[in-house]
Chain A
C-alpha cells in the first residue's frame, strides 16, 4: 500500500503546479481508480471516462485538498462522483431493503451448501459477477474497505456517512455478496 505521508508530499507539490509530482500520483493510483470505476459503471469505456474525469478534476482542484484524509480516499471520492455523473440511472441497482435475517437466509445460514460460496469466490470472474449484482453502495463499500484497504474513517468519508453506517453497510454487503454468489450473480436486490 502506498505511503500516505509520501502521497501528501506529492499532493502539496501538485497543488503548486508540479506536473511530475502529479504524474507520480497518477502512476500510483491510476489502476486502483480505474478498477474502482469499473466496479461502479458497466463497461470499460465508461470506466476509462471516469478515470480521466477523476484525474482531470484532481489536477484542477489539487489546491483544495486540505490533508484531513488520505489522498487515496480524496481521489476515490472524486471517482465516485464522476461515476455517478457518467452512469445512467437505469444502470444503478437500488439499495437492498431486506431484513438482516432475510439476507442471512439468502446467504445460506442453515443450508448445507453454505461453504460453497467460498469456493465460488476463488474464481475472480464469479466474484466480479456476484459483486456486479449488488446495490451500488454495497459494492462501493466492499471495494473501498476490502480491496483498496481504506480504513473505516476513509471509507465513511468517501461514502459521505458515519463510521457506524459503514460498518453496518459492510455487514449487509458481505451477506448480500454471499447470497449473490449462491445465486450465480443474479441480481439479488430486487
Chain B
C-alpha cells in the first residue's frame, strides 16, 4: 500500500497532510468526516493516527514542568535582589 492509495474518497497522502489540523480541531466538518471515513477503513492510517494522537498525549503527561528547586530559586532571588 502506498500514500497515493485512495480509501473512502481521499488518499493516505491527504490524510497525512491533514492530520495536524484534525488533531488541533481545525478541520471543517466535511473534511473531518472524510478523514474519519478513510481512517476507519485504512489500517495504516488508523495505526498512524493512533500513534500521532497518543504521542501528543504523552507530551502533555510526561513533560510537565516542575517547580524550581529551592537552591536554584534562592540563587535567582539573590541575583534579582542585586539589581537595584
Which A residues are within 8 Å of any B CB, using their own CB?
Answer: 22-23, 26-27, 30-32, 34-36, 48, 51-52, 55-56, 59-60, 100-101, 104, 107-110, 114-115, 117-118, 121-124, 127-128, 131, 142-143, 146-148, 152, 167-168, 170-171, 174-175, 177-178, 181
Residue of A nearest to B21 (CB): A167
Distance in Å from the Cβ of B62 to the closest Cβ of chain A?
5
Distance in Å from the Cβ of B63 to the closest Cβ of chain A?
5
The distance in angstroms between the C-alpha atoms of A26 and B72, with both chains bound, is: 12
Which residues on the B side are within 8 Å of A110 (C-beta)?
1, 3, 44, 48
Asked whether B12 is an interface residue with its Cβ less than 8 Å from the other chain, the reply is yes
If over half of B's interface residues share one DSSP class (helix, strand or loop), that class is named, otherwise mixed; here it is helix
If over half of A's interface residues share one DSSP class (helix, strand or loop), that class is named, otherwise mixed; here it is helix
The distance in angstroms between the C-alpha atoms of A63 and B73, with both chains bound, is: 24
Which residues on the B side are within 8 Å of A55 (C-beta)?
76, 80
Q: For chain B residues 6-61, which have a beta carbon within 8 Å of chain A? A: 12-13, 16-17, 19-21, 23-24, 26, 44-45, 47-48, 50-52, 54-56, 58-60
Number of CB contacts from chain A to chain B under 8 A: 133
Residue from the list B21, B62, B80 in contact with A124, Cβ < 8 A: B62
Which B residues are within 8 Å of any A CB, using their own CB?
Answer: 1, 3, 12-13, 16-17, 19-21, 23-24, 26, 44-45, 47-48, 50-52, 54-56, 58-60, 62-68, 72-73, 75-77, 79-80, 83
Which residues on the A side are within 8 Å of B20 (C-beta)?
167-168, 170-171, 174
The distance in angstroms between the C-alpha atoms of A30 and B72, with both chains bound, is: 10
The distance in angstroms between the C-alpha atoms of A146 and B52, with both chains bound, is: 13
The distance in angstroms between the C-alpha atoms of A184 and B68, with both chains bound, is: 29
Do A167 and B26 have beta carbons less than 8 Å apart?
yes
Do A118 and B55 have beta carbons less than 8 Å apart?
yes
Do B55 and A178 have beta carbons less than 8 Å apart?
yes
Residue of B nearest to A118 (CB): B54
Instruction: Identify 16 residue pairs between A and B in the complex whose beta-carbon atoms are under 8 Å apart, listed by A's number.
Output: A26-B73, A31-B67, A51-B68, A52-B75, A52-B79, A56-B79, A101-B3, A107-B51, A108-B51, A121-B58, A122-B62, A127-B63, A146-B59, A147-B63, A174-B23, A174-B55
